[in-house]
């Protein structure tokens, strides 16, 4: 079984206001593109503001899956934490064929924690993932 990992390379859809650190450049993707296993935590981040319920989606390089392969799942992994004692939450999402599909929300831990959300079916079709997807 092979696994392909992709890191964000650009911003896609966004709603609401986010605090970025560092503030320049004013892009979000470069604050969340840490290689797996080497998070930089407070060195770069994107933070939601005032419980606005916003979202930020990113673009990624195309996968290189050979024809005829079976795709077991698509996973979105991220790292988050709540900076206040009040409840905060975050979620992973996919955008498939122009439609956004948020995963289930999760309360953020009070220290950095890793999360992974798996989609075993393509949410756009309700069927198993295909190489074309």
8 pLDDT band (50/70/90 cuts)?
Answer: very high
Q: Which of these, 10, 3, 54, 5, lies nearest to 30 by C-alpha position?
A: 10
Q: Are the CB atoms for 52 and 94 separated by under 8 Å?
A: no
73/119 Cα distance (integer angstroms): 5
CB under 8 Å to 35, separation ≥6 — which residues? 7
Q: In the chain, where are the structural domains located?
A: 10-119
The per-residue pLDDT for range 61-83, each reduced to its tens digit, is 998 988 888 999 999 988 888 76
84 pLDDT band (50/70/90 cuts)?
Answer: low
Residue 85 pLDDT > 60: no
Q: What mean pLDDT value characterizes the chain?
A: 86
């Amino acid at each position: 079984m092979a696994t392909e990992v992709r890191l964000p390379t650009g911003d896609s859809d966004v709603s609401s206001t986010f605090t970025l650190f560092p503030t320049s450049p004013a892009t979000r993707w470069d604050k969340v593109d840490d290689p797996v296993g080497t998070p930089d935590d407070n060195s770069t981040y994107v933070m939601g503001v005032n419980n606005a319920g916003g979202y930020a989606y990113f673009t990624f390089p195309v996968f290189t899956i050979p024809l005829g392969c079976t795709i077991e799942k698509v996973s979105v992994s991220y790292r988050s934490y709540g900076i206040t004692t009040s409840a905060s939450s975050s979620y992973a999402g996919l955008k498939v064929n122009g439609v956004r599909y948020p995963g289930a929300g999760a309360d953020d831990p009070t220290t950095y924690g890793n999360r992974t959300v798996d989609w075993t079916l393509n949410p756009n079709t309700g069927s198993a993932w295909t190489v074309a997807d």
